[in-house]
Amino acid sequence: MGQLCTRRRVYSPAAYQEDPARAVVLFPGSFSPVQLSHIQAAVAAGEAVEGHMESTLCLHSVRLSPVSDSYGKPGLWPIKDRMHLLHAAIQEAAFEKVMVDTWEAEQPQFLRTYQVAQHLREGFKVNGEADVLLLAGGADLFEGMFAVEPCAKIPKPWTADSVDNLVCATDGFVVVARAGSKGWEEHDIKTNLQTKLKGLGAVNKLETFIVIVVEERAGDGSSTEVRNILGSDLPTSQRKAQLAKLVGDAVAEQISCNEGYYRSLVIKN
C-alpha cells in the first residue's frame, strides 16, 4: 500500500502524473446488514486506486456511507444496528483506510447518491484535504445507471439528470466485479456515459473522468442471503457457521450475542 499523502495540491490530469493525487472513495449502500463482500469490495477498490496508472493516485480513504432510515426500503435494519455491525466488520478487516462515513446516515431525509458525493466534495476537495473524489460500486450499480428502459432486473433505471449530477460531483468511478453482472471495461463506461449524458453539461467532463475497473472480484454474497439464513429454522450453531462465511467472525459473533433481536428484524418483515 502507498503512503497517506498530506500535502495540499490542486488536481489536474497533467499534475498528477508526477505528484500523486489524494483520492477519497465514496462507497454507498444500505448495508442491511454488512457482509464480507462489501468489505472485500471496499478494500479491493482502495487497492486498485493506489495501483492505478503506476500509483499516480494515493488513497486518502474509502468511506462506506449507509443510507439513513428514511430510505424506506422494506426490511431495512435500523441504522444503529447497521452502524454497529459495520464498525465490527471494518475493525476485523484491519484495513486502516476503509472507514464508515456517518453523515448520510444521520440525515432526516433520503438522499440521492450525487447529494452525498456533493457533501464529500465540499468536505474534502473544497477544504483542500483531498484532490479527487471517486464513486465505487459493484458492476450491477452501473447496469442500473446506464439502463435506458425498465426491465425485470432493473425496474428503476437512473435518470439522465441523476447521472449528470453525479458526474459533476465526482472525478471518476471505481467498478468492482460481481457475479451475474456485466463485466465492464473502461471504454464501456465512457461510452455509456457519453450516451446517457448527451446534451447535458457533465458530458464535457468525460475527457478527464477517471475510470478504474477492479480486476480482483470481491465476494458475491448478499445481504438478502444473510437475512434468509438468520430467519431460517436451522439450529443456532448452523446459522452461526453459515453467517460467519458471509459476514465474517466479528459480525457473526455480534449477531449471535443478540440473536433473538436480530432474528426479529428479519421475521417481522
DSSP string over 206-262: GGG-EEEEESSPPP---HHHHHHHHTS-S-HHHHHHHHHHHH-HHHHHHHHHTHHHH
Domain that holds residue 170: 15-219
Which of 219, 241, 261 marks a domain boundary?
219
Assigned domain for 152 exists: yes
Assigned domain for 6 exists: no
**Claim to verify: residue 215 and residue 236 sit in the same structural domain:** no
Return the pLDDT at 54: 57
* Strand boundaries in 14-117, DSSP class E: 21-29, 57-66, 98-100
| Pairing between β-strand 98-100 and β-strand 172-176 as defined by DSSP bridges | unpaired
Return the pLDDT at 150: 78
**Claim to verify: residue 41 and residue 127 sit in the same structural domain:** yes
Which of 204, 219, 234 marks a domain boundary?
219
**Claim to verify: residue 233 and residue 213 sit in the same structural domain:** no
The predicted-structure confidence for 190-209, as pLDDT tens digits, reads as follows 999 999 999 999 999 999 99
**Claim to verify: residue 60 and residue 148 sit in the same structural domain:** yes
**CATH code of the domain containing 102:** 3.40.50.620
Assigned domain for 32 exists: yes
Assigned domain for 10 exists: no
Assigned domain for 1 exists: no
- pLDDT < 50 regions, the chain: 1-16
Count of structural domains within the chain? 2
Return the pLDDT at 1: 36
Angle between helix 236-247 and 36-50 (nearest 10): 10
Place of cell 439502463: 147
**Claim to verify: residue 167 and residue 261 sit in the same structural domain:** no
What is the torsional sign of CA 160, 164, 165, 167? Answer: positive
Contacts of 167 (CB under 8 A, 6+ apart): 193, 197, 202, 205, 206, 209
What is the torsional sign of CA 113, 114, 119, 123? Answer: positive
**Claim to verify: residue 105 and residue 232 sit in the same structural domain:** no
pTM score, whole prediction: 0.89
Cell numbers linked to 158: 437512473
The span from the CA of 192 to the CA of 214, in Å, is: 18
User: H/E element holding 136?
Assistant: strand 132-138
**Claim to verify: residue 95 and residue 51 sit in the same structural domain:** yes
**Claim to verify: residue 213 and residue 229 sit in the same structural domain:** no
Place of cell 453525479: 166
Give me the half-sphere count of Cα atoms (radius 13 Å) on the Cβ side of residue 48: 27
